[in-house]
Structure 1
Amino acid sequence: MERSTLIILAVVCIVIFIAPLVMFSGHGEDDGYFGGADDAAGEAVESTGFEPWFSSIWEPPSGEIESLLFALQAAIGAIIIGYFFGYWRGQGKDE
């Protein structure tokens, strides 16, 4: 690629990265920004008056532990997927 093309792509990437930070500066989850689909679905279910018929077996003691478990789950999944893609890719190589 030409140098000018790379510079243009770099500028576009920087703009795409910074634009949401500038547009939503000072806004947070309390204002309804950056809330996930899980939050919206939970609020929709709660608004109907539905009561769950079971409770969790174990609740993580804090949000940090919950985030740690989620990240660990994602890492294990990435390792498994990466292993199989690497194995699949290695099968196509001649020795």
Structure 2
Amino acid sequence: MKKSTLIILSVICIVLFISPLIMYNGLGEDEGYFGGADGAAGEAIEETGFEPWFSSIWEPPSGEIESLLFALQAAIGAIIIGYAFGYWRGQSKKEE
């Protein structure tokens, strides 16, 4: 690859990386940016007048605990998937 092509691609990557940081500087969830689908879905359900027919057995005392539990759940899932792929890979190498 030519040096000029590499420089042009590098500049494009830098611009694509920095432009959202400049465009949304200082804006956050309060202004509606980076809200995610969970909040929009909850609002759409509330607009229909739906009332849940059960309540949670236990709610985490804080957002940090909720994030910890979510990260723990993701880690356990990653371990299970990694084990399954490793086992599958080991079995295929064993057959060879």
Q: Scaled by the length of structure 1, what TM-score is found? A: 0.80
Task: Give the 5 Å matches for 1:1-95.
Answer: 4=3, 12-94=12-94
Alpha-carbon separation, structure 2, partners of 1:6 and 1:46: 51
User: Which stretch shifts more, 15-24 or 79-88?
Assistant: 15-24
Structure 1: tracts of 5 or more residues without a match? none
Q: How many residues align?
A: 94
SS in 1 for 2:43: helix
- Superposed CA RMSD: 2.3
Query: Which structure is higher in RCO with an 8 Å CA cutoff and minimum separation 6?
Result: 1
Task: Give identity over the alignment, percent.
Answer: 81
Q: Scaled by the length of structure 2, what TM-score is found? A: 0.79
Larger radius of gyration: 2
User: Which stretch shifts more, 55-64 or 3-12?
Assistant: 3-12
